[in-house]
């Protein structure tokens, strides 16, 4: 006995295209909002330890020597640099690649008209901070840190926006999320070009062969994640030994991840309808032979019908979601609640020395974030709207937008990462510490200014709407 109406009614359930995008975005924003608190606690712990009697032991821990050997191949380094900045941050950048792919396929970056505003804002928010930094450090040793104030930390931004609840238009949250993703793309380009000095071409070709193998495996329908992990590790080793920062491998693999499910909606519904029909048929047969089944159970021989193959059902459920969706859902919480706090513990600890607070690098980074980011984001977007290229997000006015632009100066995670690349601690210990302090001060100033502006302007906006 078939129950076709169930499938027909399911087919008729409307699923707006925008819903497929909004659900993961809302989940993403929720995780970022709560992880921002964890990240802040990790930062405070790192700062407290760095300014206590435990500072030397803490620093010694992160400088623990770590080595991996595979035959003649050897990879070694410090715990904080190799394990955290090179390996764990590769997973972070892999998730960044997934987020970029999602935005391009089904998000704000899919529609050129909607993508114009965050792209222009991100470009302005990268150029102006870099110019301010260079204006203050040009010709000096600290000049090499110009990229530090270029990126926005979405975890802290979303965490602050969450404090305002429904008073913040959802359009502003989406704008800042997309802007941060474009920021990350630009930061990745800088890492791939500026921080690559010499290339070992043999290892680079090995990495490129790994990418080709991944594409081939996906093309022929290989779905086992462990196989891709093994190839991904080989690609990481290729980049690392080639002299290119291995986090680039994470971004590239994220961008290569398929965004379409192997089992489409129609096939999924047909298969589920078939499973349902089999369950109903077995139930009817069981009812007809109820007395016989009761006797079997009394004598311990009744196993009951096996209506469906649970492995097939599990496979069907898994493959009805795209690999991109599954990986982002699975990895994002680990990145937000584990990798980023560990990164903060390893990189945010710095002695709050009055001399370092007033150093040229510290002031340049702080001004780049607290002054350059808001000016760059706001002015570039203001000009783009005035020229008719785009428009403000729904429900957002210019005063509220200015508050959001100020929050864009919270650079934390990516700024600390770029600081570690710009000023390797073994070569530039004083500048590395100054860059950390500048990042913390600039991010704090941006958070305070953005929060105050949003407090004032959201109250004004609500008062005007009720009048």
The ranges assigned to domains in the chain are 19-195+333-466, 265-298+306-314
The dihedral through the CA atoms of 172, 401, 188, 36 has a sign that is negative
pLDDT at 462 over 80: no
pLDDT at 1 over 50: no
Summarize pLDDT for 137-175 with one digit per residue, the tens: 999 999 999 999 998 998 889 888 888 888 889 889 889
Query: Which parts of 79-169 fold into alpha helices (H)?
Result: 89-106, 112-137, 154-163
Cα–Cα distance measured from residue 133 to residue 168, given in angstroms and rounded to the nearest whole number:
31
pLDDT at 249 over 60: yes
- What is the structure's pLDDT at 292? 59
Q: Mean pLDDT across the chain, nearest whole number?
A: 85
CA end-to-end span of the chain, whole Å? 62
- What is the structure's pLDDT at 384? 96
Neighbour-count burial of 267, counting CB atoms closer than 10 A to its CB (0-12 exposed, 13-18 middle, 19+ buried)? middle
Phi first, then psi: give them for residue 77, nearest 5 degrees. Answer: 170, -170
Long-range contacts of 107-115 (CB under 8 A, 24+ apart): 107/21, 107/25, 107/178, 108/174, 108/175, 108/178, 109/178, 109/181, 109/182, 113/390, 114/390, 115/178
pLDDT at 467 over 90: no
The pTM (predicted TM-score) of the whole model is 0.82
- What is the structure's pLDDT at 294? 55
pLDDT at 445 over 70: yes
- What is the structure's pLDDT at 223? 80
Between these two residues, 131 and 278, which has the higher pLDDT value? 131
Average pLDDT of the segment spanning 411-428:
92
Spelled out in words, what is the top-level CATH class assigned to the domain 19-195+333-466? mainly alpha
Confidence of residue 76 (pLDDT cuts 50, 70, 90): very high
pLDDT at 262 over 80: no
CA distances, 153 to each of 44, 70, 350, 419, 454 (Å):
17, 36, 19, 14, 18
Confidence of residue 441 (pLDDT cuts 50, 70, 90): very high
From 28-37, 144-153, 447-456, 457-466, the region with the lowest mean pLDDT:
457-466
Confidence of residue 417 (pLDDT cuts 50, 70, 90): very high
Q: Tokens in use for 26?
A: 């809302």
pLDDT at 11 over 50: no
Please choose, from the candidates 404, 409, 407, 375, the residue with its C-alpha nearest in 3D space to the C-alpha of residue 392.
404
pLDDT at 55 over 60: yes
Cα–Cα distance measured from residue 463 to residue 467, given in angstroms and rounded to the nearest whole number:
6
Please choose, from the candidates 345, 273, 414, the residue with its C-alpha nearest in 3D space to the C-alpha of residue 40.
345
Cα–Cα distance measured from residue 232 to residue 242, given in angstroms and rounded to the nearest whole number:
15
pLDDT at 120 over 70: yes
- Does residue 98 contact residue 327 with C-beta atoms inside 8 Å? yes
From the CB of residue 20, how many other CB atoms can be counted at a distance below 10 Å?
A: 11
Cα–Cα distance measured from residue 190 to residue 184, given in angstroms and rounded to the nearest whole number:
10
CA distances, 208 to each of 182, 236, 257, 417 (Å):
25, 10, 16, 25
Please choose, from the candidates 160, 165, 133, the residue with its C-alpha nearest in 3D space to the C-alpha of residue 147.
133
Summarize pLDDT for 233-245 with one digit per residue, the tens: 999 999 999 999 9
Average pLDDT of the segment spanning 3-16:
45
Summarize pLDDT for 12-40 with one digit per residue, the tens: 444 455 555 566 666 766 777 778 889 99
Q: Output b/e per residue, 157-190; b: 16+ Cβ within 10 A.
A: bbbbbbeeeeebbbbbbbbbbbbbbbbbbbbbeb
405: which residues sit within 8 A by CB, 6+ positions away? 121, 125, 373, 374, 377, 378, 381, 450
Cα–Cα distance measured from residue 68 to residue 275, given in angstroms and rounded to the nearest whole number:
49
The residues facing 67 across adjacent strands are 76
From 223-227, 299-303, 408-412, the region with the lowest mean pLDDT:
299-303
């Amino acid at each position: 006995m078939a129950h076709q109406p169930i499938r027909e009614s399911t087919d008729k359930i409307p699923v707006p295209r925008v819903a497929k995008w909004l659900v993961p975005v809302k989940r993403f924003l929720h995780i970022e909002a709560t992880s921002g608190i964890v990240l802040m606690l990790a930062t405070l712990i790192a700062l407290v330890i760095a300014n206590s009697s435990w500072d030397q032991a803490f620093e010694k821990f992160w400088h623990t020597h770590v080595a991996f050997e595979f035959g003649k191949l050897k990879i070694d380094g410090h715990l904080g640099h190799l394990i955290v900045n090179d390996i764990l941050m590769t997973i972070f950048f892999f998730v960044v690649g997934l987020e970029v792919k999602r935005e391009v396929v089904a998000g704000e970056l899919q529609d050129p008209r909607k993508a114009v505003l965050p792209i222009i804002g991100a470009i302005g928010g990268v150029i102006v901070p870099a110019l301010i930094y260079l204006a203050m450090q040009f010709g000096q040793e600290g000049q090499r840190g110009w990229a530090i104030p270029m990126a926005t930390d979405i975890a802290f931004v979303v965490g602050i926006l969450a404090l305002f609840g429904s008073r913040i238009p959802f359009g502003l949250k989406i704008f800042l999320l997309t802007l941060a993703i474009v920021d990350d793309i630009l930061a990745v380009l800088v890492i791939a070009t500026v921080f690559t000095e010499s290339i070992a071409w043999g290892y680079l070709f090995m990495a490129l062969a790994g990418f080709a193998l991944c594409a081939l495996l996906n093309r022929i329908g290989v779905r086992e994640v462990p196989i891709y992990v093994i190839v991904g590790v080989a690609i990481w080793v290729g980049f690392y030994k080639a002299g290119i920062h291995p986090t680039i491998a994470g971004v590239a693999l994220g961008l290569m991840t398929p965004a379409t499910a192997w089992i489409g909606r129609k096939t999924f519904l047909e298969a589920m309808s078939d499973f349902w029909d089999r369950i109903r048929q077995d139930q009817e047969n069981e009812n007809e032979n109820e007395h016989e089944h009761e006797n079997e159970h009394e004598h311990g021989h009744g196993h009951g019908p096996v209506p469906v193959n649970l492995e097939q059902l599990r496979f069907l459920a898994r493959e009805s979601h795209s690999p991109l969706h599954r990986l982002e859902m699975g990895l994002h919480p680990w990145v937000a609640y584990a990798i980023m706090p560990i990164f903060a513990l390893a990189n945010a600890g710095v002695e709050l020395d009055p001399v370092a607070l007033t150093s040229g690098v510290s002031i340049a980074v702080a001004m780049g974030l607290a002054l350059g980011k808001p000016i760059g984001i706001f002015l570039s977007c203001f000009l783009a709207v005035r020229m008719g290229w785009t428009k403000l997000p729904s429900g957002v006015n210019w005063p509220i937008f200015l508050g959001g632009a100020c929050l864009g100066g919270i650079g934390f995670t990516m700024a600390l990462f770029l600081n570690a690349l710009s000023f390797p601690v073994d070569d530039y210990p004083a500048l590395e510490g100054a860059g950390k302090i500048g990042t913390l001060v600039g991010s704090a100033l941006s958070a305070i200014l953005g929060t105050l502006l949003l407090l004032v302007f959201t109250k004004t906006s609500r008062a005007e709407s009720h009048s």
